[in-house]
Amino acid sequence: MNPLSVVVRTVCDLFAWFMIVFGVNVLLHGYVTPGGGFQGGAIIATFTAFLLVAYGGKRVAARVNNKLFDLFEEIGLIVFFILAFLGFPITFFFNFMARPLAESASGILPGVGTVALMSAAVGLEVTGALSLIILTMHKGIRMFKVEPLEQETGHER
């Protein structure tokens, strides 16, 4: 993919960061709004797609490290699992942090408990995974320069 014109790149510079902020907002308010981890993560991952379209594959591939997204994915998954596992003396997935609404002085937050944390973990996971999907699929296009498929060593063809 070739980089687009200077107009697009400038707009990308200006607005791309707002997408991340918006995504984080959606992600963190997942427990009270119709948003949540997946939606927020998908919005943040749009940032990667945006960069790819505006700046072209070569530059993004040089700058972006796939290991970072791998790390995001792993941290999200493991945090999610640990949060679910911590409810174990009662049940798996039990919301052990939640308190009844009446006990708390201020609003909704204490009633939420692990749901908000889980939604953040899912958001991290989806960010990493979707960005990885986008980058990997872009790497797989190779529309003009056809490279041979990497050969596996195990079986003869």
Partner 1 sequence: MIANAPFLLVGLLFLGGMIAIFMEKNLVKIAIAISVIGSSVNLFLVALGYRNGGTVPIHYMAGENTVMVLPTPQAMTLTAIVIALATTALLLSLIMLVYRHYGTLDIDEIRRLRG
Partner 2 sequence: MNWNDHLPALLLAIPLFGAFVAPVASPFGRTTRNALLASFSFLTLLVSLFLLRHTLTNGIAVYVMGGESFDLTLPLGMKLPVRIIMEVDAFSAFMAVCGSIASFAGALFSMNYMEKFTGLGRFVSLYFLLTVGMLGMMITGDMFNFFVFLEISSIASIGLIAFWRDRPEAVEASIKYMLISQVSSMVFLIAAGALYGKYNVLNMAAMGALIKPGTLEKLALVFLVGTLAMKCGAFPLHMWLPDAYAEAPSGVSCLLVAVSQASLYGLMRVCFSLYGVNLGGAFIPWAMIVMGLSSMFFGVAMAVVQHDIKRLIGYHSVSQVGYMLLGLGVGMLVLTDARGMAEYGFTAIKGGIFHIFNYTMYKALLFLAAGAVYYTTGKRDLNELGGLARRMPFTTGMFVIAAAAISGLPPFNGFVSKLLIYESAFAVHPALTVVALVTSVLTLASFVKVFQTAFLGPERSAFATVREVPTAMLFGMGVLTLAVLVATLFPSWTLSYLVEPAARALVDQAGYVGAVMGGGL
* Contact (Cβ atoms closer than 8 angstroms) between residue 76 and residue 119: no
Distance CA 124, CA 78 (A): 11
Going 137 to 143 to 147 to 149, the CA torsion angle's sign is positive
Q: Which residue, 12 or 124, has its beta carbon nearer to partner 1?
A: 124
Alpha helices by DSSP H, listed for 35-113, are 37-55, 57-63, 66-86, 109-112
The region of 2-10, 14-22, 70-78, 104-112 touching partner 2 under the rule CB under 8 A is: 70-78
Run of H or E including 146: none
Q: Closer to partner 2 at the Cβ: 92 or 144?
A: 92
Pick what 100 binds: partner 1, partner 2, none; C-beta below 5 to 8 Å, kind-dependent: none
User: Contact between 34 and partner 1 (CB under 8 A)?
Assistant: yes
Q: Rule CB under 8 A: is residue 152 a binding residue for partner 2?
A: yes
Residue with smaller CB distance to partner 2, 17 or 85: 85
Q: Which is nearer to partner 2, 12 or 132 (CB)?
A: 132
Contact 70, 132 (CB under 8 A): yes
- Helices 66-86, 114-141: axis angle to 10 degrees equals 150
Residues 85-144 binding partner 2 (CB under 8 A) are 85, 87-95
Amino acid, res. 118: M
Piece of 10-18, 48-56, 79-87, 140-148 that binds partner 1 (CB under 8 A): 140-148
- The two structure tokens encoding residue 108: 């909704």
Binding site for partner 2 (CB under 8 A): 70, 73-74, 77-78, 81, 84-85, 87-95, 149-157
Q: What residue ranges bind partner 1 (CB under 8 A)? A: 32-34, 36, 38, 42, 108, 133, 136-137, 140-141, 146, 149
